[in-house]
Amino acid sequence: MKMIATIFDIDGTVVECFDFDGTSYISAIRDILGEVYINDDWSQYKNVTDTGILRQIMKKNKIQEKGQIGKLSKKFGELIGQYLENGGECCPKKGAVCLIDKLLSDRHYKIGVATGGWKHTAKMKLRHAGFDLRNTVLFSSDDSAERVEIMEKCLSALGDSFHRIVYVGDAVWDIQATKKLGWHFIGVGPRLKGKCEFWVEDYSNYDTFMRMLHA
């Protein structure tokens, strides 16, 4: 059997965040940048990543970049940490932990995580949701403001001898990035129902997901 690279997004894909992530992100922006204009329809941004969105907001509000990204990332991490420590909801997508554990234990698969979020908050959410990160390759908005480049860097870290490369995501921008790279795509969750060829609500049916992985 040939090798398959399977790369997962995080928010809405393997972890259910219940909107606290977006709310905390906007709160962090207000705290660092003040009462700037923010379009919270993330699909309208050129680069739907924590760094990419922030840079576009700063450009729109004519704010020069002078260390604000680092400060905002830190503030965002503090808000996410407080939310989780105070019992906020952040759970794995149904069947996700079991699926990823099985794939990690099978030598025919290489598993990576490529997220538009920042690395420190991504790790917080994954740990809180019960994922084992010890052998996980994870690339994030700390590595690039562009989702495609984050995905490419993740694949490069996994290796280059793959028969098939699959990205698993929950949003239209995930489909767009995957098309640019020429990878296969599996959509997850309500936002992509009816919008892609291969789609699952969650990972509760392991066999169904594996058939799509090899389709």
CATH number at residue 8: 3.40.50.1000
- Using alpha carbons, list the distances in angstroms from residue 53 to 41, 61, 133: 11, 12, 26
Give the mean pLDDT of 177-182: 97
Q: What is the pTM of this model?
A: 0.95
Last residue of a domain, one of 38, 55, 85: 85
At 2, is the pLDDT very low, low, confident or very high (cuts 50, 70, 90)?
confident
Outline where DSSP puts E strands in the chain.
4-8, 15-16, 91-92, 109-114, 137-139, 164-169, 184-188, 199-200
Q: Which two tokens stand for residue 183?
A: 């990878």
Structural domains of the chain, count: 2
Asked if residue 60 and residue 12 are part of one domain, the reply reads no
Spatial CA neighbour of 115 closest among 174, 42, 45: 174
Q: Give the number of other Cβ atoms within 10 Å of residue 161's Cβ.
A: 9
pLDDT at 45 over 70: yes
What's the mean pLDDT in 83-104?
95
Quick one: 162 and 191 in the same domain?
A: yes
Residues 122/8, Cβ–Cβ less than 8 Å: no
Strands 91-92 and 15-16: antiparallel
Residues 143 and 49 in one domain: no
Residues 103 and 79 in one domain: no
Residue 205 structural domain: 4-17+90-214
Name the band, by pLDDT with cuts 50, 70 and 90, for residue 151: very high
Tell whether 74 and 169 lie within a shared domain: no
Based on the domain organization, do 57 and 112 belong to the same domain? no
Last residue of a domain, one of 69, 85, 101: 85
- Clarify whether residues 202 and 114 are in a common domain: yes
Q: Is the model's pLDDT at 48 over the cut of 80? A: yes
Mean pLDDT of 53-77: 95
> Of the residues 70, 85, 100, which one is the last residue of a structural domain?
85
- Regarding whether 40 and 58 lie in a shared domain, the answer is yes
pLDDT of 1 reads: 64
Instruction: Judge whether residue 133 has pLDDT over 80.
Output: yes
200 and 107 share one domain: yes
